[in-house]
Amino acid sequence: MANPARRITTRRYLALTSIALVTLTAGLTWLIFAVFSPTPPRSVSMAVNPEGTYSAEVAQHYQDLLAKDGIDLKLVPSVGSRQSLALLQDAKSGVSIAIISSGITNERESPELTSLGTLFYEPLWCFSKNKVIRTYEELRGLSISIGPEGSGGHALSEEFLARVGIVDGKSARLFSWPAGRAAAAVVNGEIDAAILLDTSDAPVVHQLLTAKDVTLNSVARADAFVALYPFLNKLTLPAGVADMKNNRPPNNVTLLATEANLVVRSDLHPAIQYRLLEAASHLHSRAGLFQTAGRFPAPEANDLPLSVHARQFYKTGPPFLQRHLPFWLAVLAQQLLVLLIPIVGVAYPILQFSPRLYSWIQQRRIYLLYSELTRIEAEMAVALPQSDGKGLIERLDQLEERANRLSLPHPYLPLLYSLKLHISMVRQQIGELPHIQQTLKVTERA
């Protein structure tokens, strides 16, 4: 029948090992969820340009596509790229996504932001009423709307006009009007020109391209601008593309264009980044007026570094689990994998090492008694000629009693029996010494 004490020892070992594993697993789980935050948020916010712009229309499509995965994309109104950038840079604003025109910021100014790639071209359109503007000198004295303050168009127009000497209100009268108001003012002759930054699909652009007596002006020295501002692209709008019947525009027009960037805060959850990239591929990969099919989205880092997850997406597409499972099921599976790897990494060495530790502890209990036996044996040769050996025999008896009280698992019983045998051998050696035998005989007669 098994010794109850031995069963208790084995259970204690198993309990301690289990407690250690559970404690480490719980600690790792808390660390992963608290520090690495593997669960994507159910709601994220995106800054959007005013209604009527192409970016605002695109944001609605992003909202619809993410809603299919149970993600609530909240649209936060913005005047334009400048204001959207400010919202992104402010961690307290809650905005973590925006479409930003190239040339508005850079990595040094916005270290907390990263790019998911470029989405589409945003030409800088210069429309004028009853007047063709061929040189920058002809802008002097004109009344020009350059877009509302806080917009990308306003910021870039100021920069480019300053390059050609139109630097203040004395050179030209500059108005910060929204695109809709500026378009109406040009058509009605209230102002001489309007500079807009938007795509060819924007309703206001199409309105002005087909409006009577409104001219789309080519950019003079476009190559020089592209050389000075590497984020710019030189595009050509073909004659008649807006209205073939009335041949609008009547001639090919040279334009400068930025590229719209899908920008996010660096701490935006990777799963959300991948979903945004999938939505971008769905929305922007078609052929357009200025690009072939597949041109966008593109892994271009014009102003900000490309996100690590974006680089991976452009190489291999979405992660394996997101390609084959519904979004939240893929997220759950990924979380389990994230948890499993460190747990296995900790549990495996513990399970490997704990039997060795347990064996060492059990053997050490026996070897401590062996050490005591060795000391008694060493003292035997020195003490016995001057003593009757009773003290050593008493110590041997105590040592044997301690050995009898040891409760060990079955695999270690041979060591225990070996210890008891050696104790008996030492006792026998002491009893065989002549003066000890004489002492014992005297004791027996008495």
Over residues 412-436, the mean pLDDT reads 78
Residues 270 and 414 in one domain: no
Q: What pLDDT score does 367 carry?
A: 87
Once rounded to an integer, what is the mean pLDDT over residues 25-32?
A: 64
Interval 167-177: pLDDT, tens: 766 789 999 99
Residue 376 and residue 261 in one domain: no
Q: Kindly tell me if the per-residue pLDDT of 20 is higher than 90.
A: no
Please determine, for residue 192, whether its predicted confidence score (pLDDT) is greater than 90.
yes
Find the helix or strand (DSSP H, E) in which 415 lies.
Answer: helix 413-432
Same domain, 286 and 417: no
| Cβ 18 vs Cβ 314: under 8 Å | no
**pLDDT tens digits, residue range 307-346?**
999 999 999 887 766 776 776 666 666 666 666 666 666 6
Q: Which of 200-204, 229-233, 274-278, 431-435 shows the lowest per-residue confidence on average (mean pLDDT)?
A: 431-435
Predicted local confidence at residue 446, as pLDDT: 47
- Is there a single domain that holds both residue 97 and residue 194? yes
Can you say whether residue 271 is alpha, beta or left, with left for phi > 0 and alpha for psi between -120 and 50 degrees?
alpha
Judged against a pLDDT cut of 80, whether residue 263 lies above it is answered with yes
Question: 150 and 48: one domain?
Answer: yes
Among 318, 353, 377, identify where a domain stops.
Answer: 318
The boundaries of the domain holding residue 434 are 4-9+365-445
Number of domains in the chain: 2
What predicted TM-score, i.e. pTM, was given to this entire model? 0.70
One domain for residues 295 and 424: no
Higher-confidence position of 380 and 294: 294
Higher pLDDT, 330 or 160: 160
Residues 265 and 380 placed together within one structural domain of the fold: no
- In the chain, what's the furthest Cα-to-Cα distance? 145
Q: 407-441 burial, b for 16+ CB within 10 Å, e for fewer? A: ebbeebeebbeebeebbeebbeebeeeeebeeeee
Cα(73)–Cα(78) distance, integer angstroms: 15
For residue 24, tell me if it sits in a domain: no
Residue 9 has pLDDT above 70, yes or no: no
Query: What is the domain-level CATH number for residue 270?
Result: 3.40.190.10
Percentage of the chain modeled with pLDDT above 70: 80
What is the rounded CA–CA span in Å between residue 438 and residue 440? Answer: 5
Rounded to the nearest integer, the mean pLDDT of the chain is 85
| Alpha-carbon span 123 to 258, nearest angstrom | 6
Q: Position of tokens 């790229």?
A: 81
Among 32-41, 263-272, 375-384, which is the least confidently predicted range? Answer: 32-41
Choose between 186 and 394: higher pLDDT: 186
Structure tokens at 317: 């597409």
Do 302 and 374 fall into the same domain?
no
Cβ neighbours of residue 350 closer than 8 Å, sequence gap 6 or more: 17, 20, 21, 24
Give the residue from 283, 299, 318 where a domain finishes: 318
